[in-house]
Structure 1
Amino acid sequence: MYHYKSDATQFLDQLMAEHPEMEAERLANRNLLWDVALDPQEQAGFEAAAVAKKPYTYYQD
């Protein structure tokens, strides 16, 4: 099995071991950006407003 860990991974592992409270903060901050509820009506509006892409971008009209 491959057991190599980069310096960055070793640093983060050590940091998380020394400060276990950071895991809760990390999850809370993740929720701000990634775990958001999507509004289906707003998503439908985005899809309806999308402009059709040309088959070949550099084709002269």
Structure 2
Amino acid sequence: MKLTKQHQLYESDHTLFIKALKAANPAIEEGQREGRALLWDKAPITLTEQDRTSESRVKQQAYVYQNKL
């Protein structure tokens, strides 16, 4: 589907706001990268660590809120 030239030049209010915010504070993107690295970029886990972690897990009963009688 081809858009007309009028639609190709359109930028939403949100896009304009983000562009203005990034122009006013260029350090935002670096802060986003640091935050992503902090939460998501983890060091690889070795197989022995993975086995130890899976063996040390406590098994949970099927329905957590039901007491054993």
Q: How would you bin the TM-score normalised by the shorter chain?
A: 0.5 to 0.7
Quick one: percent identity of the two aligned structures? 29
Partner of residue 23, structure 2? 17
Q: What stretches of structure 1 move > 6 A for 4+ residues in a row?
A: none
Deviation, structure 1 residue 36: 1.2
Structure (1 or 2) with the larger CA radius of gyration: 2
3-state SS in 2 of match to 1:53: coil
**Unpaired runs of at least 5, structure 2:** 1-11
Q: 1:55 to 1:25 in 2, by over 3 A?
A: closer
TM-score (norm 1): 0.55
Partner of residue 44, structure 1? 51
TM-score (norm 2): 0.51
**Unpaired runs of at least 5, structure 1:** none
Compute the RMSD of aligned alpha carbons.
2.8
| Higher RCO (C-alpha 8 Å, min separation 6) | 1
